[in-house]
Amino acid sequence: MEFKTDSVAFRLLKATSRVDNPASSKILRSVGMKFIKSEEKFGALREHFEKQIFTRPVDLIAKLCESPTDSELKLLIEKTLSSKEG
C-alpha cells in the first residue's frame, strides 16, 4: 500500500469524545477544536469537534524531524497550525 503524503493536504481535523468523559472534551477544546454537535453513536452520546488546518503532512513531518525537544515540537506544531488557518 502506498500513501502520497507529500501531495495530500489535510483541510479538516475531526474528533469525537464521549459526553461521560469531560477530560477528553477539555483537551480537544484546549488545542483549538470547535464543538460542532452531540450525537448518539455506538451506544453512547458523543460530542463532535473540528479544526480546520492547511498543511501538507510531509511539510509538518520534515519540520518535526528538525526539532530535538518536546517543547520545541509543541511550539512548532502550534505555530504551523496557527499560521495555516484561514
Identify the CA nearest to 11 among candidates 57, 50, 54: 54
Tens of pLDDT, residues 27-84: 999 988 999 999 998 889 999 999 877 666 666 666 666 655 667 667 777 777 776 6
CA–CA dist 25, 15 (Å, integer) = 9
- Domain boundaries, given as residue ranges, for the chain: 10-84
- Burial string for 34-66 (b: 16+ CB within 10 Å, else e) reads eeeeeeeeeeeebbbbeeebebeeeebeeeeee
> Cα–Cα distances in Å, from 45 out to 14, 40, 58?
16, 4, 35
pLDDT at residue 24 greater than cutoff 50? yes
Task: Report the pLDDT averaged over residues 23-30.
Answer: 93
CA–CA dist 77, 61 (Å, integer) = 10
